[in-house]
Structures are given as C-alpha cells and as structure tokens.
C-alpha cells in the first residue's frame, strides 16, 4: 500500500487545501472564485485532468526510451468539457505533440501507447471503490 496523501484545510482561506505527499513538496488545491474560492491553485477537476496528461507523457517517454527512439520531449494538452458532468458525461480531449519523432509509424505507435497509460485505464476500465470514515 502507498503512503497516505493528507489534505489539510488552510487557515484564513475559504476553500484552499494543502496537499501533503510524504517526501515531496506540498501541493495546493482551491476552487474558482465563482464558487467562493480564491482561485489560487488548481481545483480537484484540474488534478484529475493533470493525472491523465502527466501519465500519458510519462508512458510515451518510457516507451520511446526503451525503444531508443529519438523522442526529445512531449507536450500534452488536455481540454475538458464538463458541461454534461451532472448527467454522467465528462469529456477530455488530449493533444500529443511529439518532439524529435518524425517517423509516421513511430508517431502512430506512441499515440497508441499513450492510450494504455495506467491512469487512462483507471479512468475508463476500472471500478474504483471508495471507503470514507470519520476519525
């Protein structure tokens, strides 16, 4: 089991949260001003989208490195359409920009590999069970 991630409400802030991950620098989360936050940090939806984008980037980089392909870097842009979220539909559009790879077959393979990142599989193929309790 992984070490816990701890979320602590920041004093003197409406909804700002400090996120503590053991051994790493703290992260922060907030909500937009329109819902009473300060818009001072990514909101939880942003972190959900960030998880997908970073996982795709890392997965592609790892594969290209293992194949010794000339990938110099990758830019991943994630666009969200949450207009139907309340109806159970949350759309993410992901654009991959591969730097240093010109071969069409390698590019196609890297796109295919990006669909296999663990976070995409978690988001689309898994049943996630959440148990919440008071302490």
pLDDT in tens, 44-57: 999 999 999 999 99
Q: Looking at residue 52, what is its pLDDT?
A: 98
Q: How much is the mean pLDDT over the chain?
A: 96
Which CATH number describes the domain made up of 44-125? 3.30.300.20
Helices 44-67 and 104-114: angle between axes, nearest 10 degrees: 140
Domain boundaries, the chain: 6-35, 44-125
pLDDT digits (tens, 9 = 90+) for 95-119: 999 999 999 999 999 999 999 999 9
Query: Does 63 score more than 90 pLDDT?
Result: yes
Q: What is the pLDDT of residues 5-40, one digit of tens each?
A: 999 998 888 899 999 999 999 999 999 999 999 999
Using DSSP's 3-state secondary structure scheme, residue 92 falls into strand
């Amino acid at each position: 089991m992984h070490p816990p991630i701890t979320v602590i409400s920041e004093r003197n802030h409406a909804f700002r949260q400090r996120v503590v991950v053991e051994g790493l620098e703290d992260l922060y989360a907030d909500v937009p001003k329109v819902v009473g936050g300060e818009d001072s940090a990514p909101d939880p939806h942003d972190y959900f989208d960030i998880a997908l984008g970073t996982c795709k980037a890392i997965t592609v980089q790892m594969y290209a490195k293992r194949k010794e392909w000339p990938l110099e870097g990758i830019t991943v842009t994630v666009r969200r359409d949450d207009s139907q979220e309340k109806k159970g539909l949350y759309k993410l559009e992901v654009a991959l920009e591969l730097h240093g790879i010109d071969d069409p077959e390698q590019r196609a393979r890297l796109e295919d590999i990006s669909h296999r990142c663990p976070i995409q599989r978690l988001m689309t193929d898994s049943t996630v069970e959440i148990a919440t309790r008071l302490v």
